[in-house]
């Protein structure tokens, strides 16, 4: 059993911390796209002034998205190649994967929207903005629920 | 017709733009193909022709009066207190700067041309950037960019957070408190009115008409047409008068191209700058830094999959 410990965890501890840090900064900088941190004094806290700088939070959000994309695809590929025989996804795992996929797709389309020369219709942009934020809120609540109820992404077969 | 671009060619451009807007309702590959300069309408402003009569300012006010805010008073108490109330409703006649009730104003610059002292006057309004940060970074999609190069703020959707003003290199949008959607949501806690700026008379342009400021100008200071043509004309004019061009590359390119007989550095030194009075500094492409990371977002998933595949195959090869 101990020999299979690495297989029992779908991701190693350092990757887990990387995932948590990345998603934390993505949420922080994502909410920072709304003009709330200055209004509500968060940016007045020493060391957090950058949260009121929209181009800074935008850039960090992009960096976080790059790390998350690499991490998510690594974990998924690793699971399908190496670990699927030993472990299966739980229902809460499927829900979180679906939400995360939606967040990545809507976020990816917003990145495309921001490129010079792309001109999505205003209605589609509103749809993307609301979808991205809505899915993030759902993902946040789902993650908190799973943390409190100790629900794992995968379980032994 | 005095404008260099004829009404016929302007109508053609307008129809092409309208067709483009209709075609862009669903993002497709054509939307990713890069800027189609034939659809974008740009304006050329020949500063040497402007006499500062303010006919454009008056025409702008008249044409857009129906769009101006009519705020409800008293304003909701703002939480926290430091959220600034911005009220221009008692100062609607202010026309020496940008306000929610004045989307175009004239800047004055005292310069020397061939050793002769001269006052130049410069119509200032939204530059209508090719990749406008006000539109692209608006968190709600309240700021919109039309395929014909117009960027405008939808006063029915804007919550007045003023992010568009902060990310605009020229601080163009101006806020009026006490109006708009925020009053129906959480007026004390979120939002603070509506942001206003030049929309280049988008309704008139959609019908093939000229923006009011261009139509009213007695000196034909402004010319409107497809961006590519306008840039060629701007450079030809600059060569002719031994002048300078501003707006072609500022913030990655704009749809407002100024041509001046003196360097813009000199104009910028002379004009009054400050709140509601934009500068004429060179401006870097504010969206470029983040957009340069977009390629890495395509590489990232490939790298992730490659790492997992490598983790599986490398031990097999070693064995």
DSSP A15-83: HHHHHHHHHHHHHHHHHTTSTTTTTTTGGGSTT-GGGG-HHHHHHHHHHHHHHHHHHHHHHHHHIIIII
Model pLDDT for residues B128-171, shown as the tens digit of each residue: 999 999 999 999 899 999 999 999 999 999 999 999 999 999 99
Tell whether B260 and B319 lie within a shared domain: no
Domain termination residue (choose one: A63, A85, A107): A85
What's B218's domain CATH number?
A: 3.30.70.20
Peptide bond preceding B74 in cis form (omega within 30 of 0): yes
Model pLDDT for residues B262-315, shown as the tens digit of each residue: 999 999 999 999 999 999 999 999 999 999 999 999 999 999 999 999 988 888
**Count of structural domains within chain A:** 2
Residues of A in contact with B31 (CB under 8 A): 118-120
Domain termination residue (choose one: A41, A61, A85): A85
Residue B1 inside a domain? The answer is: no
- pLDDT value at residue B164: 97
Token digits of residue A65: 């998205």
Asked if the model's pLDDT at residue B10 lies above 80, the reply is no
Q: Which residue of A has its CA nearest to B313?
A: A81
Tell whether B203 and B317 lie within a shared domain: no
Note whether A120 contacts B31, CB cutoff 8 Å.
yes
Note whether B304 contacts A77, CB cutoff 8 Å.
yes
Tell whether B292 and B222 lie within a shared domain: no
Confidence label for B23 from pLDDT (cuts 50, 70 and 90):
very low
Tell whether A77 and A143 lie within a shared domain: no
Mean pLDDT of B193-208: 96
- pLDDT value at residue B316: 81
- pLDDT value at residue B37: 57
- pLDDT value at residue A11: 77
Mean pLDDT of B190-217: 96
Distance CA B187, CA B77 (A): 8
Residue B33 inside a domain? The answer is: yes
- pLDDT value at residue B148: 93
Tell whether A128 and A66 lie within a shared domain: no
**Count of structural domains within chain B:** 2
Where in the sequence is the domain holding A5, given as residue range(s)?
A: 1-85
Tell whether A78 and A4 lie within a shared domain: yes
What dihedral angle (degrees, nearest 10) is formed by the CA atoms of B20, B26, B30, B36? Answer: 30
Nearest-Cα distance to chain B for A82, in Å, is 7
Tell whether A2 and A69 lie within a shared domain: yes
Tell whether A101 and A70 lie within a shared domain: no
Domain termination residue (choose one: A51, A85, A119): A85
Residue of B204, B318, B313 lying closest to A77 (CA atoms):
B313
Tell whether A4 and A78 lie within a shared domain: yes
Model pLDDT for residues B125-134, shown as the tens digit of each residue: 999 999 999 9
Mean pLDDT of A55-68: 97
Q: Which residue of A has its CA nearest to B27?
A: A120
Q: Point out the least confidently predicted range of B21-25, B88-92, B183-187.
A: B21-25
Tell whether B272 and B152 lie within a shared domain: yes
Mean pLDDT of B218-247: 96
Residue B247 inside a domain? The answer is: yes
- pLDDT value at residue A9: 63
- pLDDT value at residue B36: 57
- C-beta of residue B240 within 8 angstroms of C-beta of residue B25: no
Tell whether B257 and B316 lie within a shared domain: no
Model pLDDT for residues A108-126, shown as the tens digit of each residue: 999 999 999 888 999 999 9
More confident residue, B132 or B36: B132
Tell whether A9 and A71 lie within a shared domain: yes
Where in the sequence is the domain holding B305, given as residue range(s)?
A: 287-319
Distance CA A85, CA B283 (A): 56
Tell whether A70 and A94 lie within a shared domain: no
Tell whether B50 and B109 lie within a shared domain: yes
Tell whether B268 and B294 lie within a shared domain: no
Model pLDDT for residues B72-119, shown as the tens digit of each residue: 899 999 888 888 899 999 999 999 999 999 999 999 999 988 888 999
Average pLDDT along chain A: 91
On the CB side of A32, CA atoms within 13 Å amount to 24
- C-beta of residue B80 within 8 angstroms of C-beta of residue A41: yes
- pLDDT value at residue B234: 98
Peptide bond preceding B80 in cis form (omega within 30 of 0): yes
Asked if the model's pLDDT at residue A26 lies above 50, the reply is yes
Distance CA A125, CA B132 (A): 14
Residue B83 inside a domain? The answer is: yes
Q: Which residue has the tokens 């530059």?
A: B127
- pLDDT value at residue B1: 37
**Non-local CB neighbours of B9 within 8 Å, separated by 6+ positions:** B225
- C-beta of residue B257 within 8 angstroms of C-beta of residue B229: no
Tell whether B34 and B67 lie within a shared domain: yes
Residue B24 inside a domain? The answer is: yes
- C-beta of residue A22 within 8 angstroms of C-beta of residue A68: yes
3-state secondary structure B147-192: CCCCEEECCCCCCCCCHHHHHCCCCCCEEECCCCHHHHCCCCCCCC
Tell whether A133 and A71 lie within a shared domain: no
Distance CA B35, CA B231 (A): 15
Confidence label for A85 from pLDDT (cuts 50, 70 and 90):
confident
Tell whether A103 and A150 lie within a shared domain: yes
Asked if the model's pLDDT at residue B9 lies above 50, the reply is no
Residues of B in contact with A59 (CB under 8 A): 289-290, 293
Distance CA A56, CA A29 (A): 9
Size of interface A-B (CB pairs under 8 A): 148
Average pLDDT along chain B: 88
Tell whether B230 and B294 lie within a shared domain: no
Taking the CB of residue B8, how many other CB atoms lie within 10 A of it?
10
Note whether B308 contacts A59, CB cutoff 8 Å.
no
Tell whether B292 and B280 lie within a shared domain: no
More confident residue, B80 or A57: A57
**Non-local CB neighbours of B92 within 8 Å, separated by 6+ positions:** B68, B99, B101
pLDDT more than 70, % of chain B: 88
Tell whether A52 and A34 lie within a shared domain: yes
Tell whether A101 and A71 lie within a shared domain: no
Tell whether B309 and B265 lie within a shared domain: no
Q: Which residue of B has its CA nearest to A78?
A: B308
């Amino acid at each position: 059993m101990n020999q299979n410990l690495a297989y029992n965890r779908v991701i190693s501890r350092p990757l887990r911390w990387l995932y948590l840090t990345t998603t934390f900064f993505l949420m922080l900088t994502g909410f920072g796209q709304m003009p709330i941190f200055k209004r509500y004094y968060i940016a007045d806290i020493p060391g957090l002034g950058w949260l009121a700088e929209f181009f800074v939070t935008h850039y960090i959000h992009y960096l976080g998205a790059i790390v998350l994309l690499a991490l998510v695809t690594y974990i998924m590929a690793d699971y399908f190649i190496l670990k699927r025989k030993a472990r299966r996804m739980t229902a809460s795992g499927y829900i979180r994967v679906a939400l995360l996929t939606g967040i990545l797709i809507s976020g990816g389309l917003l990145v495309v929207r921001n490129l010079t020369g792309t001109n999505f219709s205003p209605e589609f942009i509103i749809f993307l903005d609301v979808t991205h934020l809505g899915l993030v809120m759902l993902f946040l609540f789902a993650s908190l629920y799973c943390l409190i109820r100790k629900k794992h992404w995968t379980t032994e077969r | 017709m005095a404008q260099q671009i004829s009404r016929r060619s302007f109508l053609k451009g307008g129809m092409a733009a309208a067709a483009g807007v209709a075609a862009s309702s669903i993002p497709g590959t054509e939307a990713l193909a890069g800027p189609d300069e034939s659809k974008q309408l740009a304006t050329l402003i020949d500063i040497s022709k402007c006499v500062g009569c303010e006919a454009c300012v008056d025409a702008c006010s008249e044409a857009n009066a129906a769009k101006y805010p009519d705020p409800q008073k008293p304003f909701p108490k703002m939480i926290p207190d430091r959220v600034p109330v911005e009220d221009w409703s008692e100062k609607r006649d202010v026309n020496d700067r940008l306000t929610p009730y004045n989307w175009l104003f004239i800047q004055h610059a005292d310069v020397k041309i061939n050793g002769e002292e001269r006052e130049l006057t410069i119509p200032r309004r939204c530059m209508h950037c090719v990749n406008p940060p006000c539109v692209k970074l608006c968190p709600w999609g309240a700021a919109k960019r039309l395929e014909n190069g117009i960027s405008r703020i939808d006063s029915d959707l804007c919550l007045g957070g003023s992010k568009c003003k902060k990310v605009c290199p020229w601080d163009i949008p101006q806020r009026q408190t006490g109006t708009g959607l925020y009053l129906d949501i959480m007026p004390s806690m979120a939002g603070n009115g509506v942001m206003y700026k030049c929309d280049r008379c988008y309704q008139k342009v959609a019908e093939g008409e000229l923006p009011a400021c261009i139509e009213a100008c007695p000196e034909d200071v402004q010319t409107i047409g497809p961006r590519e043509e306008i840039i060629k004309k701007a450079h030809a004019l600059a060569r002719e008068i031994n002048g300078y061009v501003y707006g072609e590359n500022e913030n990655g390119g704009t749809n407002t191209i100024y041509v001046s007989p003196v360097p813009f550095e000199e104009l910028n030194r002379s004009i009054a700058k400050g709140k509601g009075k934009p500068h004429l500094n060179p401006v870097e492409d504010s969206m470029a830094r983040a957009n340069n990371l977009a390629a890495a977002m395509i590489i990232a998933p490939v790298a992730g999959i490659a790492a997992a595949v490598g983790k599986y195959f490398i031990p097999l090869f070693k064995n």
